[in-house]
Chains A and B, each alone.
Chain A
Amino acid sequence: ETGVTQSPTHLIKTRGQQVTLRCSSQSGHNTVSWYQQALGQGPQFIFQYYREEENGRGNFPPRFSGLQFPNYSSELNVNALELDDSALYLCASSLGRGGYEQYFGPGTRLTVT
């Protein structure tokens, strides 16, 4: 059974640039959620994808967008990067629309300068 993987591990970008983060969900899981974790805080929900469709969204602006592919892997795209976007981005997979037990990847550390 393959766990949740994320790439890249670390990333440094300049303000105004665009970034794409990737996530492979745990084998058999069809739901992916993305979280932003700032230093000293808990993960904040960005959005969730279920079977390639957005299933819900948190309080993040439209420049945060995502995709889920037929194999249930997922991408998080952030446009027009701001300094406050610097954070750990976590991907979590779960089984079904109602699955509450989420399996997290190790995260991507994004630094915006």
Chain B
Amino acid sequence: DQQVKQNSPSLSVQEGRISILNCDYTNSMFDYFLWYKKYPAEGPTFLISISSIKDKNEDGRFTVFLNKSAKHLSLHIVPSQPGDSAVYFCAARYTGGFKTIFGAGTRLFVKA
């Protein structure tokens, strides 16, 4: 059951420009949405989160937007840097806290 979907397997962006990664979900029982970044041979690293009662959260170059009516969230990276090249996973946590569902990931390439 694909409750969290990342429909773009990959994205290529020029250094300095904005990267926008998208994620859709189907379940209304999630209380937190999260983005993780993964480099090869490493485990995913927590990047940024947003509560289901918010519509925006910002942390430095990273901003996450949540559109509850559309069941859609996006991660904006501005400006993009070559070190941002990685796989980005969107994740959603069930209310109650015990289960987190991950999307399939989007591979971001930032070209110098």
Contacts and interface: CB of A to CB of B under 8 A. Distances in A.
B99 A45 contact: yes
A90 interface: yes
A73 to B, nearest CB: 16
B99 A100 contact: no
A100 B35 CA distance: 11
Nearest to A58: B99
B8 to A, nearest CB: 14
B97 A99 contact: yes
A107 interface: yes
A42 B93 contact: no
Contacts of B36: 104
A56 B99 contact: yes
Interface string A84-103: 00000010100001111111
Nearest to A38: B104
Given A42-B89, A43-B89, A100-B34, A106 B41 contact: yes
Nearest to A88: B43
Contacts of B105: 41-42
Contact of B98 (A35, A55, A106): A55
Interface string A23-61: 000000000010100001111110010100001101000
A42 B102 contact: yes
Given A48-B99, A97-B98, A102-B100, A43 B34 contact: no
A105 interface: yes
Interface of A: 4, 33, 35, 40-45, 48, 50, 55-56, 58, 90, 92, 97-107
Interface of B: 4, 6, 32, 34, 36, 41-46, 49, 89, 91, 93, 96-105
